[in-house]
Amino acid sequence: MGIREHKDAASVNQDILLREYENVVKQIIHWDTHFWTKSQFFLVIESAFVAATLQVFREQVTAQAKLPLLVFLSLFLVAGFFNIFLCYVWFRTNRRNREFLRLRFERAREIESELGTLQTFTNDVKKLPKGHGSATWEIHLPTGFIVVWVLLMIAAVILTCS
């Protein structure tokens, strides 16, 4: 293989890496947007369920529209377990999206290393302070709602038993 063919092969390899890099960046944008769209959906659903449940709970406590205690307890337990399940699904999808994004970021950094000219993602790691990321908190947003639902179910049991 001559010098010219070697340069052409290297140029083709670099072109392929650049195309892959462009696709990886598009995938990162897509999956991050997908992550936030799903999170907003679940956040709205869970917030509405919690608000409605608190309203029913308030009416039950203030005796404005008392439900029979067995109906009240059944309603709260069904709503609680259903919403805990929704939150678990939300958590699992959040975690899976972040795992995929982490792989895409790693691949982008590998391509940058191979090309030696791009440093979009490599610089982020070097320049951002350690320990200030929010990815873990974002993944565990549903956990907060699970805690709220458990507390609401406990309060419903206590109210019906007293």
* Structure confidence at residue 100 as a pLDDT band (50, 70, 90): very high
- DSSP states of the chain: --HHHHHHHHHHHHHHHHHHHHHHHHHHHHHHHHHHHHHHHHHHHHHHHHHHHHHHHHHHHHTSSPPPHHHHHHHHHHHHHHHHHHHHHHHHHHHHHHHHHHHHHHHHHHHHHHHSS--HHHHHHHHSPTT---HHHHHTHHHHHHHHHHHHHHHHHHHHH-
How much is the pTM?
Answer: 0.76
Does 156 or 4 have the greater pLDDT score?
156
Compute the mean pLDDT over every residue in the chain, rounded to the nearest whole number: 85
pLDDT at 48: 96
Q: What length does the chain have?
A: 162
Each residue of 143-153: pLDDT tens digit?
999 999 999 98
Average pLDDT over residues 111-139: 75
pLDDT at 6: 56
pLDDT at 65 over 90: no
Each residue of 5-63: pLDDT tens digit?
556 777 888 899 999 999 999 999 999 999 999 999 999 999 999 999 999 888 888 87
Using a pLDDT cut of 90, give the percent of the chain over it. Answer: 43
Burial of 50 (C-beta count, 10 Å sphere; 0-12/13-18/19+): middle
Return d(Cα 10, Cα 12) in angstroms, integer: 5
pLDDT at 46: 95
